[in-house]
Structure 1
Amino acid sequence: MKGFLEGKTILIMGVRNRWSIAWAIAQSAAEEGAALVFTVQSGRELEQTAELVRDLGDYPVLECDVGSDDSIQSSFEELRRRSGVIHGLVHAIAHARSEDLEGDFIATTREGFAHALNVSAYSLIAVSRAARGLMSGGGAIVTLSYIGAERVVPGYKVMGVAKAALEATVRYLASELGSSSVRVNAISAGPIKTLSAKGIPNFGNLLETAAGQNPLRRAVDRSDIAGTALYLLSDASAGVTGEVIHVDAGYHIMGV
């Protein structure tokens, strides 16, 4: 399948380290011929990510604080100068304050709730608005969700609410951007060992339960998610938008 994304420029937002899902997607996209551009949240992460990206090739890494409209505008203006056009965007950005994941959900602070929704859901609206002008020939936007958006997952708490908002955002964006031939979809990934996942209490139990109860009787890995992301970024999914595709070995269909 080499060359699946040949001639496409893909923006990857949210690579934090080599164990992240975003990095697995970037690796697979590069193997399939895509030209990549990366963004990081702050200058503090710039050199670390640039060093990681050098393993793939000579790809630009830009700073983009998704909590700032000015930063988003500035980074996309730089992207326009560098690439002129983009064909795909991977939004792998989410965050909740640790104190809002440790206590009871009912104890979630107003500030913590606003932070989780702003970073994890509103950011998709903000970057999609900026990306639309660079997708002059149409394009694909892909974000990452989790079953905690649909069901109560112990320890997930306010992130579950944020992911539910993210999935609704996917549908509304898909409806509005479809006339510009821009597709918007989400991947609901099964539990995967990442550094971010370590912030979820009892994550090891979630991983074991999902692997033991899903139809395939195995844990999903980053390559499973990356494969679906390649499909959604490619012309093979030209008729797919507004979807939340579960890549969890079928766990979401089970009643227990």
Structure 2
Amino acid sequence: MQAIVDLSGKVGLITGIANEKSISTGVAESCVEAGAKLIVTYQNDKTRAFIEPVVHRLGVEHVYALDVTRPETMADVQAKILEHFGKLDFAIHSMAFAKRDDLHGRVVDTSADGFAMAMDVSTHSFVRMAKMVEPLMEKAGGGSLITMTYLGSEKVIANYGVMGLCKAALEAATRYMACELGPKNIRVNAVSPGPLMTRAASGIARFDDLMASAIERAPMHSLVTPEDIGALTAFLVSDAGRLITGGIHFVDAGYNIVG
């Protein structure tokens, strides 16, 4: 497939690949096709085994451990990027977590520790990532940060629970950081895909019903694919998106306007 944007000479960090069907896999594919060099991260040895087919197929040579709950791993990744590349042009944040009971239960029943954990991994990790890559992007003369959100941030989605609160905070963080980092020519955006079956989505009760509803109600009567998300993300991190920042960008066949 011919790339629709040019990322030649750009270096990007991709987080959140879980397997071949991950959103981040589609993003990585689009970025590689556009000519970018990638750094891919994994949480632990167990998760690395699942991403090996993806990094091997895409020819990614730089694969690093990154657990956002362990600050030393973030510092280690920053140091390795600086050592091997001397800069970073873009970074993709695609990670979220909530305890199953908090995800499926009522928001008013959310435990304090469960709320804190969900907000830390799903939202504040994006803030920490921005701080980690800021000096690397300054060396590139600017850069682009992308996070993945969902419509549950602004509309009540059944069985999405506390994650809706996390995504709302994530989108607010996107706007605030876009304002703060803009003077350094660093753009911050969020991509909001429609429902698609990923490992993360499999933890949401009755997700098949949500996908069926999206097909029925979306103006284009179609589900989004990781490739669709990758195409939009590659555009946003490219020079073609050089003045786009602070936005929530939907790729969902128009479902958000009727959902």
User: Deviation string for 1:99-149 (max 9, x for gaps)?
Assistant: 212322222111110011000100001011010110121000111000000
Aligned residue for 1:226?
A: 230
Give, in whole Å, the separation in 1 of the partners of 2:128 and 2:158. Answer: 30
User: Contact conserved, 2:40 with 2:60, CA < 8 A, in 1?
Assistant: no
**Deviation (angstroms), 1:97:** 1.1
**Deviation (angstroms), 1:84:** 1.0
User: Contact conserved, 2:104 with 2:160, CA < 8 A, in 1?
Assistant: no
Alignment map for 1:199-210 (pairs within 5 Å)? 199-210=203-214
Aligned residue for 2:144?
A: 140
**Deviation (angstroms), 1:51:** 4.1
2:188 counterpart of 1:177: no
Aligned residue for 2:119?
A: 117
TM-score where L is the length of structure 2:
0.95
Q: Give the residue type in structure 1 aligned to 2:7.
A: L
Aligned residue for 1:248?
A: 252
- Which of structures 1 and 2 has the larger relative contact order (alpha carbons within 8 angstroms, sep 6+)? 2
User: Contact conserved, 2:17 with 2:51, CA < 8 A, in 1?
Assistant: yes
User: Deviation string for 1:72-98 (max 9, x for gaps)?
Assistant: 112211121111111000111111111
RMSD: 1.3
Give, in whole Å, the separation in 2 of the partners of 1:102 and 1:146. Answer: 16
Q: Identity rate of aligned residues, in percent?
A: 37
Give, in whole Å, the separation in 2 of the partners of 1:131 and 1:160. Answer: 26
Give, in whole Å, the separation in 2 of the partners of 1:158 and 1:38. Answer: 28
Aligned residue for 2:46?
A: 44
With 215-224 and 129-138 compared, the bigger mean Cα shift is at 215-224
Correspondent of 2:8 among 6, 9, 15: 6
Aligned residue for 1:16?
A: 18
User: Contact conserved, 2:175 with 2:246, CA < 8 A, in 1?
Assistant: yes
Q: 1:47 to 1:84 in 2, by over 3 A?
A: farther
With 99-108 and 182-191 compared, the bigger mean Cα shift is at 99-108
User: Deviation string for 1:37-75 (max 9, x for gaps)?
Assistant: 011122332344234301111421101111122221122
User: Contact conserved, 1:87 with 1:138, CA < 8 A, in 2?
Assistant: yes
Could you list the runs of 5+ residues in structure 2 that have no partner in the other structure? none
User: Deviation string for 1:151-203 (max 9, x for gaps)?
Assistant: 00000011100000100000011000001100000011100111110101110
With 158-167 and 47-56 compared, the bigger mean Cα shift is at 47-56
Could you list the runs of 5+ residues in structure 1 that have no partner in the other structure? none
Return structure 1 stretches of 4+ with deviation > 4 angstroms: none
User: Contact conserved, 1:15 with 1:40, CA < 8 A, in 2?
Assistant: yes
Q: Give the residue type in structure 1 aligned to 2:151.
A: I
Count of residue pairs brought into register by the alignment: 255
Aligned residue for 2:221?
A: 217
Q: Give the residue type in structure 2 aligned to 1:45.
A: T
TM-score where L is the length of structure 1:
0.96
Give, in whole Å, the separation in 2 of the partners of 1:138 and 1:24. Answer: 24
